[in-house]
Amino acid sequence: METGKEEQRGVVRFLTAEGGRQKPHRHMSAVYGEHSVSYSRVLEWHKRFREGRLSLQDDARPGQAHRAISPTVNAETDGLIRGNRRITVEELRRLMGISHCSVHSLRRNT
């Protein structure tokens, strides 16, 4: 039975809310078998839920890439290029506040 991380985190949250001194990993290993998340991950999430966490999502990490490509950014970039055909990638990057690679990605998608 292959499942996603969030589903298994939901099980950890349920077992944590159920209370007691149970070991959530033992229950999860019985159900998910080799597809169960690691013992250390279960303990980590068990601790987070005991401390009051509700979300099953990963925390955002510093430096994690954000998607800069959106219809709005794409339209803005297109407008800048149409307004000045000699605009450089560096100028677009600076004006739009996006990375050099994102500028290239935008141009490939138009």
Global model pTM greater than 0.85: no
Q: What's residue 107's pLDDT?
A: 62
Average pLDDT, the chain: 82
User: Could you tell me if 77 and 96 are in contact, meaning their C-beta atoms sit under 8 angstroms apart?
Assistant: yes
Which residues, 6 or more positions from 46, have their beta carbon under 8 angstroms from its beta carbon? Answer: 12, 15, 16, 24
CA distance 17 to 6: 16
- The vertex-82 CA angle with 100 and 86, nearest 5°, equals 60
- Which tens digits make up the pLDDT trace of 65-103? 555 567 888 888 889 999 999 999 999 888 888 888 888
